[in-house]
Amino acid sequence: MLPSPEGACDAALLQRAKAGSATAFSALVQRHQQAVRAFARRMGGDLVEADDLAQEAFVTAWSRLAHVDVQASFRAWVCGIVYRKALTSRRGVLRGMGRDGAYVETRGWEVGGAIEPAAKTALRRAMGELPTDQRAAVALCLAADFSHGEAAEALNLPLGTVKSHVNRGRAKLLELMGGRDV
């Protein structure tokens, strides 16, 4: 079976993109962005999140062009990246919800309800007890939903250091606030 004209054109563009042509990669993105965004939207979540996911997938595709076969479907390859990123994101959200729910449960706060002013004050004081790097890592990863990698980049720290800061900071916060680790 002969490749379709579109597939042949994609292969030529992909070959040029692999050789370093940003123009060729841009043409591939323009050709397939609607399909990739539509797939990301069908994966669930809101439209903004889906568009962000599609954009992240294209950025990842650009950085991993050396790993794709020029005869492979570029669209399918990028949709595969979207799928893996969506799974990773969903696992992170579920882990976070589990941790947050368990933590709130140990403190007697209602999930989804407003946190009592006294609890906010206690948390603010406890955060002040943490060393600066730990405080920053905890604030980014636990309060602002940064991934450990994003926090490492933002703080210009090694990934392992950020993970340690988050774990130690979380444990210290629980200790200072009278909770138990879950």
pLDDT digits (tens, 9 = 90+) for 100-122: 555 555 555 444 455 567 777 77
**Residues of the chain with pLDDT > 90: what percent?**
27
Mean of the pLDDT values across residues 89-95?
A: 70
pLDDT digits (tens, 9 = 90+) for 125-175: 888 788 878 888 887 788 767 789 888 887 788 999 999 999 998 888 888
Per-residue confidence (pLDDT) for residue 45, from 0 to 100: 63
Per-residue confidence (pLDDT) for residue 25, from 0 to 100: 96
HSE-CB of 24 using CA atoms within 13 angstroms: 17
- Asked whether the beta carbons of 151 and 141 are under 8 A apart, the reply is yes
Is the model's pLDDT at 30 over the cut of 50? yes
Total-model pTM: 0.51
What are the chain's domains? 5-89 (1.10.1740.10), 114-176 (1.10.10.10)
Mean of the pLDDT values across residues 50-77?
A: 90
Average pLDDT across the chain, whole number: 80
